[in-house]
Amino acid sequence: MPGIAHLIQEFIRTLPFFMKPLLLTFELTIASVIVGTVIGLLVALLKVSRIPGGQLLANIYITLIRGTPLIVQIFVLYFGFYKVIDLGQFWSATLALAIHSGAYIAEIFRGAIQSIDKGQMEAGLSLGMSSAQTMRRIIMPQALKRSIPPLGNQFILSLKESSLAAFIAMDELFSLARRLSAETFDEMTYFLIVAFYYLLIVMVFTYFVNRMEQHMAKGDS
Amino acid sequence: MSEKQEMIRLQNLKKSFGDLEVLKDINLTVRKGEVFVLIGASGSGKSTLIRCINFLEMKNGGNIIIEGKSIDPKKDDLTQVRQKVGMVFQHFNLFPHKTVLENVIEAPLVVKKVSKEAAKQEALHLLDKVGLAEKADVYPSSLSGGQKQRVAIARSLAMKPDIMLFDEPTSALDPELVGEVLETIKQLAKEGMTMMIVTHEMGFAKEVADWVAFMNQGRIVEMAPPQEIFNNPKEERTREFLNRVL
Ligand SMILES: Nc1ncnc2c1ncn2[C@@H]1O[C@H](COP(=O)(O)OP(=O)(O)O)[C@@H](O)[C@H]1O
Ligand SMILES: [Mg+2]
C-alpha cells in the first residue's frame, strides 16, 4: 500500500491533469444519460402502447442489452458508430453508453407508468379525453415524478460505467489513471486517486438526489 | 302524453371475462330525467354493467343505445360518447398532481377547448354547487373522502354530460361522510339529471330512484319502481337479498 502522505502528494501533483478527464467523464455521463432517457422514454411508451410489433421490438432491445456484458456492447456499438457510421469518438462512445442505459431507463419508465393506478386512465377516458391525452396530461406527469429517484440511481450507475470508455481510447478519468500507473508502475496510487474522484462525484450527486426526493415527498399525499 | 326521450337502452347486453359470463342478456331502458338504481350482491355484475355503458369495458354482444344511437366501439368515436356520459367512481380517481380547480377544468380545456377563463368560471360555479368553492386551490390529498367525491362529481359535471353514472359513490367513505355525497346526488336528481347509480344505500335508493333493478349472477332478476321492489318484491331472490341488507 502506498503511504497516505504519498497519496496526498500525488493527488495534488496530478490534480491539474485530472481536470480535463473529469470534465470528459461528466460530459460522457450527462450526454449518455440524456440520450438514454430519450431512448428509454420512447421504448417504454412503445412497450405500454398497443402498436403492433412495438412490444416485441422493445422486448428484443431490452433482452439484448440486459443479456450481454456492457463492455461487449460498448465495443460493438462504439466500433459500429465510429467506424461504420463515422460519428466521431465522443458521440460513438456516448451513443454506446446511451443505448445501454436506455434499456434500463425504459424499464424505469415502464414500471413508473404501470404503477399509476388504472383509475387515472379510466377517469380521463370517462371525461371524454382520448387515451393519448390522458397519457400525456394525467399519467406521464405522475409517472415522470416517480421516475426521478430511480433515474438518479441510473445516473450514478452510468457515471461509473463511463469508466469503460477508457477501453475505447476515450481520455476520461479511468483512462488517465491507467496511463499514470503504466508510466510510473505505481498502480495502487493512481487507481485509489481515481476511485476517490468517482466517489466524490457520486456522493455529491447522491446528496442532490436525496434532497430532491425529500422535497418531492413533501408535496405528496 | 309523449314518452320521454330514451337516454340509455341496453338490448341483450353480454359481457364475459374469459370463460366467466358476467353479464347475460341485460335489457333495460333509462329515460330522460330518470334515476335508475342498480342493487345486488358483490360480484353480480353491477360495475361491469355500468362500465360497459361508458365503454370502459367492451361488450361481447347485444346493443348499447345512447340517446337513440346504437354505439359501435369499432366505428364510433368513444370520446364523443363519453362526453355525454359522465362517470363517478368508488375511489374518486381525482388527479393527484392537479389542484381541485385544475381537476375540474382539465377536460373542458383539453377536450372542449373552452377558454381558460370560461372553464374556471364554470368550475368555480360547480365547486360552489357541491359546497367546495373554498377548496379550489388545494390538492386532492388534503381533502376528506366526502370532499374528494364531491370534487369528482363537479369534475364530471364540468363536461355538461346528459347522463351520469355512479359506481358505489359512497362505498369508500367513512359513514359520517356518506350523507354529504348522497345530498349532492339528490340535488342532481332534483335538477332532472338522468342517472344510473350502483349503491348499497337502500334508504337513498328508495328516496331518489324512479327504477330499481336487482341484479344476481349477471342477470336483472327484477326491475320495478322502489316502493314495489322494496315493499313487495316478486322474486324470491330479491326478497332474500333485501332481507339480508335491510
Ligand atoms: N377485469 C376483469 N377481469 C376478470 N374478471 C372480472 C373483471 N372485472 C370483473 N370481473 C368479475 O366479474 C364479476 C362481476 O364483477 P363486478 O361487475 O365488479 O360486480 P359488482 O360490481 O356487482 O360487485 C366478478 O366475478 C368479478 O370477479
Ligand atoms: Mg362493483
- Which residue, by CA, sits nearest to atom 10 of ligand 1? B17
Is the Cβ pair B111, A133 closer than 8 Å? Answer: yes
**What CA–CA distance (Å, rounded) separates B29 from B64?**
10
CATH architecture of the domain with residue range A4-220: Orthogonal Bundle (1.10)
Grid cell in block for residue B37: 338504481
Instruction: Tell me the nearest-neighbour CA distance from A217 into chain B, angstroms.
Output: 13
B141-164: pLDDT as tens digits: 999 999 999 999 999 999 999 999
Asked if residue A58 lies in contact with residue A43, where contact means CB atoms within 8 angstroms, the answer is: yes
**pLDDT (mean) for A46-69:** 90
Output the pLDDT for position A162. Answer: 87
| DSSP string covering B171-201 | TTS-HHHHHHHHHHHHHHHHTT-EEEEE-S-
Output the pLDDT for position B1. Answer: 47
**Average pLDDT over chain A, rounded to whole?**
89
- Which atom of ligand 1 approaches the CA of B41 most closely? 22
> CB-based contact (8 Å) between A121 and chain B?
no
Output the pLDDT for position A206. Answer: 87
Give Cα B203 distance to the centre of its chain: 18
CB nearest B159 (choices: A127, A138, A145): A127
* Closest ligand (CA of B39): 1
User: How far, in Å, from the CA of B14 to the mean position of ligand 1?
Assistant: 13
Residues of chain B positioned with their CB less than 8 A from the CB of A145: 97
Output the pLDDT for position A215. Answer: 78
Nearby residues of B126 by Cβ (< 8 Å), 6 or more positions away: B104, B154, B157, B158
Residues of chain B positioned with their CB less than 8 A from the CB of A137: 106, 110
- Which residue, by CA, sits nearest to atom 8 of ligand 1? B48
Q: 3-class DSSP state for residue B240?
A: helix
pLDDT at B187 > cutoff 80: yes
Per cent of chain A over pLDDT 90 is: 47
- Which residue, by CA, sits nearest to atom 7 of ligand 1? B17
CA distances from A143 to A149, A150, B133, B168 (A): 11, 12, 29, 28
With the most atoms of ligand 1 within 8 angstroms of its CB, the residue from B48, B51, B245 to mutate is B48
Question: In angstroms, how far apart are the furthest CA atoms of chain B?
Answer: 56
B78-92: pLDDT as tens digits: 999 999 999 999 999
> CB-based contact (8 Å) between A148 and chain B?
no
Nearby residues of A210 by Cβ (< 8 Å), 6 or more positions away: none
- Which atom of ligand 1 approaches the CA of B46 most closely? 22
Instruction: Tell me the nearest-neighbour CA distance from B232 into chain A, angstroms.
Output: 36
User: How far, in Å, from the CA of B39 to the mean position of ligand 1?
Assistant: 15
B102-129: pLDDT as tens digits: 999 999 999 999 999 999 999 999 999 9
**What CA–CA distance (Å, rounded) separates A101 from A52?**
25
B214, β-bridge pairs: B39, B222
Nearest chain A alpha carbon to B80? A128
Q: How many cross-chain Cβ pairs, A to B, lie less than 8 Å apart?
A: 69
**Average pLDDT over chain B, rounded to whole?**
96
| DSSP string covering chain A | ---HHHHHHHHHHHHHHHHHHHHHHHHHHHHHHHHHHHHHHHHHHHHHS--TTHHHHHHHHHHHHHTS-HHHHHHHHHHIIIIIS---HHHHHHHHHHHHHHHHHHHHHHHHHHHS-HHHHHHHHHTT--HHHHIIIIIHHHHHHHHHHHHHHHHHHHHHHGGGGGGGT--SHHHHHHHHHHHHS-HHHHHHHHHHHHHHHHHHHHHHHHHHHHHHHHH--
Instruction: Tell me the nearest-neighbour CA distance from B107 into chain A, angstroms.
Output: 6
**pLDDT (mean) for B39-52:** 97
Nearest chain A alpha carbon to B108? A127
> CB-based contact (8 Å) between A221 and chain B?
yes
**pLDDT (mean) for A172-177:** 88
B36, β-bridge pairs: B196, B211
**What CA–CA distance (Å, rounded) separates A127 from A179?**
63
Output the pLDDT for position A219. Answer: 54
What angle in degrees, to the nearest 10, is found between the helix axes of B145-157 and B100-110?
A: 20
Nearest chain A alpha carbon to B57? A122
- Which residue, by CA, sits nearest to atom 18 of ligand 1? B47
Cβ neighbours, 10 Å, residue B155: 31
**pLDDT (mean) for B165-179:** 96
Output the pLDDT for position A218. Answer: 61
Instruction: Tell me the nearest-neighbour CA distance from A111 into chain B, angstroms.
Output: 18
Output the pLDDT for position A220. Answer: 54
Asked if residue A116 lies in contact with residue B145, where contact means CB atoms within 8 angstroms, the answer is: no
Q: 3-class DSSP state for residue B77?
A: coil
| Residue the block writes with cell 501533483 | A13
pLDDT at A8 > cutoff 50: yes
The reply to whether the predicted model has a pTM over 0.90 is: no
Is the Cβ pair B56, A141 closer than 8 Å? Answer: no
The CA-CA-CA angle for residues B27, B31, B182, to 5°, reads 100
Amino acid at B129: K
Return residues 150-209 of B near A (CB < 8 Å).
Answer: 152, 155-156, 159
**Band of the pLDDT at B16, cuts 50, 70, 90?**
very high
Asked if residue B10 lies in contact with residue B27, where contact means CB atoms within 8 angstroms, the answer is: yes
